């Protein structure tokens, strides 16, 4: 077959296919013509591939057919629409699902942290085991405070954000083990409690809270949210209910990884507060107020939009067309 002659004979049909595929609106006659030209061009592509499967004409016809196919069938979804749906429905619904478990994780964290602080303050020899008096004073008066300002604010905020986002995603991803989440909560609670105990023992607890609360209100809440999501995934594995175990695990995993993605954004805001607000010269009340406002915004987003999305039937999962069908079981 002479490719040049073949192109000359059929060029008009191909150009007409492009014209119809580019139109925003088609009437009935034009839609029928587009379908006929699509089928005809598909046949042409098969003929060309039998002669020059890797040729320029073959690639050009494939592109033409791809545009026409999109015009006939429509795109699967619109990116802007999907993004709006994610933030307006999927993400708040996923946060709303784990609200009570988030509060439970917070309560356990506070209890363990308080017990750790009380142990440091009230146990003879505990302070000595943590360092000499000069070492502890250097930590309280210099190291703890300088940690928030020894690096440029933007660099520090980025470092904190990536580190915390990685921990949050790990909690969600490894929650299925049933061990990782309690371990992360325990280690962090003990560490925060011991630091608080050191400051309390030297009567400087006000300094501790002035540097922890501005960013810690949202940062620690994000850890509790991630822990709650991980525990939900683990529980779906243990007690799947009326679903098959793998179906329950897949559904919970898809839904609650939405939480992990959302926490990346939440922790970005928390990182900005830690990098720019915590070490700033603003009054302590103002810094804590900013942190409290960020936390209040999260809970308003979760409880108001989340409840609305939940009542509308959203659970944070993918749509059926993306998640795939499930086998019916008795």
Helix and strand tally (H, E) in the chain? 16, 0
Same domain, residue pair 32 and 118? no
pLDDT recorded at residue 8? 87
Query: With contact defined as beta carbons under 8 Å apart, do 218 and 273 qualify?
Result: yes
Range of the domain at 15: 3-73
Q: Give pLDDT tens digits for 71-113.
A: 777 655 556 777 788 888 888 998 999 999 999 999 999 999 9
Query: With contact defined as beta carbons under 8 Å apart, do 241 and 248 qualify?
Result: yes
Total domain count, the chain: 2
Whether the pTM exceeds 0.75: the reply is: no
pLDDT recorded at residue 328? 54
pLDDT recorded at residue 312? 87
Is 329 within a domain? no
Task: Return the CA Rg of the chain.
Answer: 29
Cα–Cα distance, 256 to 171 (Å, whole number):
11
Same domain, residue pair 29 and 142? no
Q: In this structure, what DSSP letter does residue 203 have?
A: T
Query: Last residue of a domain, which of 49, 73, 97?
Result: 73
The sign of the dihedral angle between the CA atoms of 272, 84, 296, 266 is: negative
Is 299 within a domain? yes
pLDDT recorded at residue 323? 44
pLDDT recorded at residue 321? 45
Residue 177: which residues within 8 A CB-CB, separation 6 or more? 234
Is 328 within a domain? no
pLDDT recorded at residue 175? 85
Q: Which residue has the tokens 């009326």?
A: 242
Report the candidate in 167, 164, 163, 194 with the shortest Cα–Cα distance to residue 180.
Answer: 167
Same domain, residue pair 64 and 114? no
Query: Last residue of a domain, which of 19, 51, 73?
Result: 73
Is 23 within a domain? yes
Same domain, residue pair 61 and 125? no
pLDDT in tens, the chain (330 residues): 778 888 888 889 888 888 888 887 888 888 888 889 889 988 988 888 888 877 888 888 888 888 888 777 765 555 677 778 888 888 899 899 999 999 999 999 999 999 999 999 999 888 888 888 899 889 888 888 888 888 788 888 888 888 888 888 888 888 888 899 999 999 999 999 999 999 999 999 999 999 999 999 999 999 999 999 999 888 888 888 877 888 777 778 777 778 888 899 999 999 999 999 999 999 999 999 999 999 999 999 999 999 999 898 887 665 544 444 455 555
Is 301 within a domain? yes
Q: Would you state the structure tokens that stand for residue 23, as one six-digit string?
A: 């139109």
Same domain, residue pair 189 and 67? no
Same domain, residue pair 138 and 12? no
Query: Last residue of a domain, which of 73, 99, 120?
Result: 73
Query: With contact defined as beta carbons under 8 Å apart, do 256 and 94 qualify?
Result: yes
Same domain, residue pair 58 and 167? no
Same domain, residue pair 35 and 105? no
Is 238 within a domain? yes
Same domain, residue pair 160 and 195? yes
Same domain, residue pair 199 and 308? yes
Same domain, residue pair 48 and 87? no
Is 166 within a domain? yes
Determine whether 83 is exposed, middle or buried from the number of CB atoms within 10 Å of its CB (0-12, 13-18, 19+). Answer: exposed
Q: Give pLDDT tens digits for 21-64.
A: 888 788 888 888 888 988 998 898 888 888 887 788 888 888 88
Same domain, residue pair 142 and 255? yes
Is 300 within a domain? yes
């Amino acid at each position: 077959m002479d490719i040049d002659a073949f192109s000359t004979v059929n060029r008009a049909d191909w150009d007409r296919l492009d014209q119809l595929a580019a139109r925003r609106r088609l009437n009935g006659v034009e839609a029928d013509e587009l379908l006929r030209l699509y089928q005809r061009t598909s046949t042409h592509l098969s003929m060309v591939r039998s002669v020059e499967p890797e040729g320029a004409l073959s690639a050009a016809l494939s592109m033409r057919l791809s545009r026409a196919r999109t015009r006939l069938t429509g795109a699967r979804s619109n990116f802007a629409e999907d993004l709006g749906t994610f933030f307006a429905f999927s993400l708040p619904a996923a946060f709303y699902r784990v609200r009570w478990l988030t509060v439970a994780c917070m309560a356990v964290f506070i209890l363990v942290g308080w017990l750790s602080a009380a142990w440091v303050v009230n146990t003879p020899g505990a302070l000595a085991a943590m360092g000499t008096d000069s070492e502890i004073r250097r930590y309280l008066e210099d190291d703890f405070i300088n940690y928030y300002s020894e690096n440029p604010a933007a660099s520090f905020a980025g470092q904190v954000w990536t580190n915390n986002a990685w921990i949050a995603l790990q909690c969600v991803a490894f929650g299925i083990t049933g061990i990782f989440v309690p371990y992360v909560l325990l280690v962090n609670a003990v560490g925060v409690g011991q630091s608080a105990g050191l400051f309390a023992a030297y009567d400087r607890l006000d300094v501790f809270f002035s540097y922890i609360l501005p960013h810690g209100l949202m940062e620690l809440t994000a850890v509790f949210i991630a822990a709650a999501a991980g525990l939900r995934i683990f529980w779906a594995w243990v007690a799947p209910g009326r679903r098959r175990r793998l179906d329950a695990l897949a559904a919970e995993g898809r839904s609650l990884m939405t939480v992990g993605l959302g926490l990346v954004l939440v922790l970005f805001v928390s990182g900005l507060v830690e990098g720019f607000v915590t070490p700033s010269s603003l009054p302590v009340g103002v810094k804590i107020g900013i942190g409290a406002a960020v936390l209040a915004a999260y809970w308003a987003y979760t409880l108001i939009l989340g409840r609305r999305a939940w009542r509308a039937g959203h659970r944070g999962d993918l749509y059926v067309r993306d998640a795939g069908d499930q086998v019916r079981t008795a």
